[in-house]
Amino acid sequence: MRLTAIQMSPTADKAANIEQASRLAEAAIAADRPDLLAFPEVWTCLGGSRAEKFAAAEDLPKGGEGGPAWRFLSALAARHRIYVHGGSIAERAGEKLRNTTLLFGPDGREIARYSKIHLFDITAPDGTGYRESAVYEGGREVVVAEVAGVGVGLSICYDIRFPELFLALRKKGAELIVLPAAFTLQTGKDHWEVLIRARAIETQCWFLAPATCGAHQEGGQTRFTWGHSLVVDPWGHVVARASDGPGWATGRLDRALTERVRANMPLIEHRRL
């Protein structure tokens, strides 16, 4: 299975973001012919005001058609007959939003969704505050879907700091975990790669981690995200990495490697606590 992580530099302009996503996806598909292509976290609207975030959000009725981003993702999957992981987009949920992943099959139908459980309420080393819970509410469900016979665990960004979620995904049958992100520059340069590699080693799962990069405006400040999208194998090796700026990274999931790693070091069977 070929895996492609799309790396974007989005802003609060939803239409421009969809155009950028389309351009990058079409180029990546033409060049690398992935079976599964994934976008970053909140790629339809990164930054902006509270009003802009709500305006860019979509109603996502289960079993029904969503808004422009939902339709773009569905059409992309159907046109190229591939699986498309929609990173995450803002879903309307009453007075707040949800940070929600959408997964589409080669027929364009939505086959799974996941809402981010852990919300990014932290203070960065430079004193910058992030309060995701001011706009978003957290999800509650641990989700594993099937993609061409492979169990795919769904997670988003800040989730990576909570290993119990990834153990739960492995126990539910995950062989690949997708982690779309908008990691900050400050936390990303120190923690992004090491956390993903650690979770891959602990769970003995492949990781597909598409990320945002570059500058955006939020709360009157210019903020930066780290990028460096990754594909990581179950032994913790980085097998593909995006460079600086918009682009993509493609790697090949080798199920024989997964089986060998798990057979030689049966971590799940050895767990005692």
Q: Which residues are catalytic?
A: 41, 116, 157
Q: Is residue 15 within 8 Å of 37, Cβ to Cβ?
A: no
Distance of alpha carbon 99 from alpha carbon 25, whole angstroms: 21
User: Can you list the alpha helix ranges (DSSP code H) found in the chain?
Assistant: 14-32, 50-56, 68-80, 163-171, 185-187, 193-203, 255-264, 267-270
Terminal Cα-to-Cα distance of the chain (whole angstroms): 34
φ and ψ at residue 22, rounded to 5 degrees: -65, -45
**Helix 163-171 crosses helix 193-203 at what angle (to 10 degrees)?**
40
Locate tokens 């007075």: which residue? 95
